[in-house]
């Protein structure tokens, strides 16, 4: 029986998030589950008056939001390729990435993220969205490391997933 619990994927436009989305699409096909590709962005609206926006109107929040939406839909389309499954829902949300992803993890089969590979020191000093999600998520969290590419349609029956085993 197919699970209808979605796989939630954090997407930020990076190669790491594209890798995570491709992995999640393959896993969702095996499970018969939908994928929720979630891009979270924070508005950097200028509060010091209209001058910066007049000089560079592309910084206006509605322009940035539209650009992020186009990036998200392009990434989903590229990762899906010619495949017709799984069902994918793309959503752009304004807010804090870790908080939003943790909230959306409630009721999910798993939260999938890509590892940017900056290393432990950078994570300890700068903080990491993935690390924060691991602590806050309400479902299992899969962090797809660099170097892992999932074969979305394995040849010849069962295969061993490089992440889940």
pLDDT in tens, 29-77: 999 999 999 999 887 655 555 555 555 655 677 788 899 999 999 999 9
pTM as predicted: 0.79
Q: What is the mean pLDDT of residues 105-117?
A: 91
CB 90 within 8 A of CB 73: yes
pLDDT of 154 > 70? The answer is no
Distances (CA, A) of 9 to 14, 26, 33, 75, 90: 13, 12, 13, 12, 10
For residue 40, give the H/E element and its range. Answer: strand 35-41
Architecture of domain 7-44+66-144: 3-Layer(aba) Sandwich (3.40)
Going from N- to C-terminal start, the domains of the chain cover 7-44+66-144
156 pLDDT exceeds 50? Answer: no
């Amino acid at each position: 029986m197919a699970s209808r619990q979605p796989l939630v994927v954090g997407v930020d436009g990076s190669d790491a998030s594209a890798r995570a989305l491709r992995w999640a699409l393959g896993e969702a096909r095996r499970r018969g589950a939908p994928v929720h590709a979630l891009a979270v962005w924070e508005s950097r609206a200028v509060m010091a008056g209209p001058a910066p926006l007049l000089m560079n109107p592309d910084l206006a929040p509605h322009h940035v939001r539209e650009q992020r939406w186009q990036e998200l839909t392009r990434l989903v389309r590229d990762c899906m390729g010619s495949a017709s499954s799984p069902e994918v829902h793309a959503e752009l949300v304004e807010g804090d990435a870790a908080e939003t992803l943790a909230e959306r993890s409630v009721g999910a089969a798993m939260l999938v993220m890509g590892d940017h590979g900056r290393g432990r020191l950078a994570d300890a000093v700068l903080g990491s969205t993935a690390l924060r999600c691991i602590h806050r998520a309400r479902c299992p969290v899969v962090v797809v490391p660099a170097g892992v590419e999932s074969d979305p349609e394995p040849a010849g029956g069962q295969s061993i997933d490089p992440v889940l085993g």
